Amino acid sequence: MIDPSGPGSAFLLAQLGAYAAGRFAERIAELDLTPPQTGLLRAIAAEPGQSQQALARLLGTPPSRLVALVDGLDERGLVERRRNPDDRRLHALHLTQDGEALLRRIAEVGRAHDDAICGPLDEADRARLRDLLARLADAHGLTPGVHPGYRRL
């Protein structure tokens, strides 16, 4: 039975989401990354060769802000801009070897983070929770794998 006097599910999701986001930011800071940089690396890896404009649309962030993020990752040698063979006015974004290596480290950090947050749950509970959360995200039109925080960058 649900206790009507206790916090609602939406509050608990927000509370845990804020906690999880903060802890993840701390974990990736050890890799000298911010959450937006991490998400951008993942988005580039998911579909190499996308233009900056296409990534800005996918992430829901202003193109000028995305350019600044890409510039920072480019300066660190993690991404590279190549001329788009279909439209030479556009740059196609790709991870460098260093970017791919860092993405593997990010994946390790992400798995450890997931284990730390979901530690009290067994595998069946984790699978059920992922399914429920994915259904809610889909029902609210959220882009899979894209944090809505990009809209506020």
Helix (H) or strand (E) holding 79: strand 79-83
Rounded to whole angstroms, the Cα distance separating 2 from 101 reads 46
| pLDDT band at 1; cut points 50, 70, 90 | low
Q: pLDDT tens digits, residue range 61-113?
A: 888 889 999 999 999 999 999 987 777 777 899 999 999 999 999 999 999 99
**For position 59, what pLDDT does the model report?**
87
Tokens of 25: 């930011």
pLDDT at residue 153 tops 70: no
Helix axes 52-59, 35-46, angle to 10 degrees: 120
What pTM was estimated for this model as a whole? 0.85
Strands (E) across 84-150 are located at 91-95
Beta-ladder partners of 95 = 79
Cβ 62 vs Cβ 56: under 8 Å: yes
Q: Mean of the pLDDT values across residues 47-61?
A: 89
By DSSP bridging, strand 79-83 and strand 91-95 are antiparallel
Q: With H, G, I as helix, E, B as strand and everything else as coil, classify residue 91.
A: strand
Q: pLDDT tens digits, residue range 16-42?
A: 999 999 999 999 999 999 999 999 999
